[in-house]
Structure 1
Amino acid sequence: MKPAQSTLRRLRRLSLVLVLLAGFAMIVWWVLRPTEVTTVTPERGEAAEIVYATGEVEPHDWAQLAPLANGRIEYLCQCEGEWVEAGTVLARLDDREAQARLEELTTRAEQTTDDLARMERLANQRAVSRQELDQARSDASRARALASAQNTLLDHHVLRAPIAGKVLRQDAEVGEIAGPDQVLFWVGEPSRLEVVAEVNEEDIPEVESGQKVLIHADAFPEQTLNAEVMRVTPKGDPVARTYRVYLALPQDTPLRIGMSVEANIITRVVENAQLLPIEAFQQDAVFVVDDGKAQQRQLEVGIRGTERVEVLEPLEEGTEVIVPWPTDLSDGAKVTTSAGDDA
């Protein structure tokens, strides 16, 4: 073998070894390199414990009107959005059949009354028995009762406003068949609104009158609206396992009747609490950075909100806490940090 070829071969082997060493060094560096993490430091602020509920906006004073009889609608006031006084006729059903029945029963009542008067005259002359007189009295009383009941049923064909207020909504049209299972009108006072909310039974012990409430509605996505707990119904729904809570709205609320809302009832507030983002936690544990290493630390926490968590045993000011919780980081691993948003 020529010397030049031997030297070339040795250089190739040396180059291969150097490439392998460089690759190995890169692997070692990659494995042992510090992991880059984002950290925040604890901040001070207000921690609020809340009870979540959903509800619907309703007038404080209002009524639903459905006919007490079945029949074809022959008159509707067409007064949706207008103010009506108590007793105003809002609708009338076809009452011809009921009217005919009333006339029949009235005639029968008059006849039995005349019969009773005749029987009383005969009784005074001892021409009829006591039993016959009692039967005449019973027939007359029953006929008058039937006529009176039919007169009441006739009145059921007329819908009158039970309270003074605005006609909030009107359903159905003239000519349609209506009955007791169909609400035709909603009448109420729209200037005094409230939210009727449902609260889970496990949360209701924390709710009481006077508590502040934050309201969110899809109709006003950029606004947080205010309300206040007015009262809690004493009896819950054992099927849904909820309690009804009434939330008073301010006079200037932009909410409208019938809107669905989400309510956060503030049951407790802690001032100047130390707070961390909820994303930093796995249960009650966080990772802090100490001397370039990630150290897992178990914390005692208090109020756990939707965004932040109260730390009861405060961390030292300036402590770097990794956020979000690093799922692939082991305790004691080397890290490099970059500052995230404040807690």
Structure 2
Amino acid sequence: MLSSRIPAIIACSCLLGACGGKKQNPKASQNQAPIVDVIVAGYTNVTNAVEANGSVLANEFVELRPEVNGRLTYLNVQEGKYVEKGTVIARVNDADLQAQLGKIKVQLELAEKTEQRLRKLLDINGVNQADYDAALNTVNGFKADIDYTLAMIDKTVVRAPFSGTLGLRQVSPGAFVTPTTIIASMQQLNQLKVDFTIPEQYGSLVQTGGTVNVVIDGTDNARHKASVIAIEPQANALTRNLRIRALLPPVSKANPGAFVKVYVGENITQKAILVPSNVIIPSDKNKQVVLVRDGKAAFVNVQTGLRQSSFVAITKGVSQGDTIVVKGVMFATNNNPVKVRNIAQLNNLRDTVNQGQQ
């Protein structure tokens, strides 16, 4: 009888032991709060530098073209040389216009003599006023024809519109040219400009009279301070970018058309609460961070602003002095206890991130 009861007793004791183990695990898990590292929110100076691409421009640039059709009879393109304003660069054949001018001058001479005779007769009432007015009108008409012909002759001459450096010659003497023919280009290099674009949301970082830093491609990566002279008032409808123009300092050495990097806002700092970007919990509608309040995790909605490589500024939702969880975010649950292991410093976090990126 006793031997038959022994297996049943052993089975009951094992079952009781198993049941006792199941009752102890939930109780033990409730006492184990997740361990987190935190930082204390505080304001720090941040720089919202924006990098943009730009191009170098000459102070003045023009493509020299004739205004009339004709054959080139004179060409004075000193490639790569500096020329003064008004220098004759090319002439188009104007023989027909010169002949027409000579003809009109002969006709004007005869008309003036006629007008002078009629004027003397008019003084003694030897001719009526209408005849004299017609003669005077003929004189004025020939003078107008001369002015028009001289204007057409002037169009056959291509002059330097400003003092600058000539480019490469595109045509040869004797070539037939039209107003679409480019004889050469001309640029004024004593002052260089930079054109660049930035998203319109960063338009507040730049203003006329301010400065931006420019790095010219292919140089020693030195930063040149360029003065902003104009901002296109209308954003591009397709890209939503603003076009900005700045003057490079005279010491800058670059060729028009060179690629440059422009850094906007490097000289502008503002105070903000910075946190590592990985502590932000994104959702469909909101962004959240985990705070520690009275030993418990509290999920709060925040708004973010400036972004750096691995940090983001919080503009709303967190106040100075709040305790923000930076490690162990995934283990924290709202309104449940957490255990703070370490209070980290923002500078130390930056160093850790930078070492990880290297």
TM-score per shorter chain, which class? Answer: 0.5 to 0.7
Mapped partners of 1:79, 1:280: distance in 2: 65
Q: Contact 1:166–1:190 at 8 Å: present in 2 too?
A: yes
Q: Identical aligned pairs, as a percentage?
A: 21
Mapped partners of 2:194, 2:259: distance in 1: 9
The one-letter amino acid paired with 2:218 is F
1:316–1:89 CA distance, 2 compared to 1 (3 A): same
- Determine the structure 1 residue equivalent to 2:133: 134
Mapped partners of 2:298, 2:222: distance in 1: 39
- Determine the structure 2 residue equivalent to 1:88: 87
TM-score normalised per structure 2: 0.62
Paired residue secondary structure (1:98): helix
Mapped partners of 2:311, 2:189: distance in 1: 38
Q: Contact 1:40–1:341 at 8 Å: present in 2 too?
A: no
The one-letter amino acid paired with 2:252 is T
* 1:82-231 matched pairs, under 5 angstroms: 82-124=81-123, 126-168=125-167, 170-197=169-196, 204=203, 207-215=206-214, 219-220=217-218, 223=221, 225-231=223-229
- Determine the structure 2 residue equivalent to 1:269: 268
User: Higher mean Cα deviation, 307-316 or 151-160?
Assistant: 307-316
How far does residue 213 in structure 1 lie from its aligned partner after superposition? 1.6
- Determine the structure 2 residue equivalent to 1:255: 254
Mapped partners of 2:201, 2:314: distance in 1: 24
- Determine the structure 2 residue equivalent to 1:320: 326
- Determine the structure 2 residue equivalent to 1:303: 306
TM-score normalised per structure 1: 0.64
Mapped partners of 1:154, 1:279: distance in 2: 74
- Determine the structure 2 residue equivalent to 1:71: 70
Q: Contact 1:66–1:181 at 8 Å: present in 2 too?
A: yes
1:124–1:310 CA distance, 2 compared to 1 (3 A): same
Q: Contact 2:197–2:244 at 8 Å: present in 1 too?
A: yes
Mapped partners of 1:244, 1:340: distance in 2: 35
| Structure 2 unpaired stretches of 5+ | 1-36, 334-351
The count of corresponding residues between Structure 1 and Structure 2 is: 291
How far does residue 151 in structure 1 lie from its aligned partner after superposition? 0.9
Mapped partners of 1:106, 1:295: distance in 2: 98
- Determine the structure 2 residue equivalent to 1:49: 48
CA RMSD of aligned residues (A): 4.5
Cα deviations by residue, 1:145-177 (Å, 9 ceiling, x for unpaired): 111221122011111223222224554443444
Mapped partners of 2:199, 2:214: distance in 1: 17
The one-letter amino acid paired with 2:165 is K
- Determine the structure 1 residue equivalent to 2:17: none
Q: Contact 2:43–2:274 at 8 Å: present in 1 too?
A: yes
Mapped partners of 1:113, 1:237: distance in 2: 61
1:91–1:124 CA distance, 2 compared to 1 (3 A): same
Paired residue secondary structure (1:60): strand
How far does residue 302 in structure 1 lie from its aligned partner after superposition? 2.9
Mapped partners of 1:98, 1:306: distance in 2: 69
Q: Contact 2:208–2:229 at 8 Å: present in 1 too?
A: yes
The one-letter amino acid paired with 2:230 is V
Q: Contact 1:49–1:269 at 8 Å: present in 2 too?
A: yes
Mapped partners of 1:221, 1:320: distance in 2: 41
- Determine the structure 2 residue equivalent to 1:285: 287
Mapped partners of 1:308, 1:112: distance in 2: 88
Mapped partners of 1:142, 1:234: distance in 2: 48
Q: Contact 2:215–2:224 at 8 Å: present in 1 too?
A: no
Mapped partners of 1:277, 1:177: distance in 2: 68
The one-letter amino acid paired with 1:285 is K
The one-letter amino acid paired with 1:76 is L
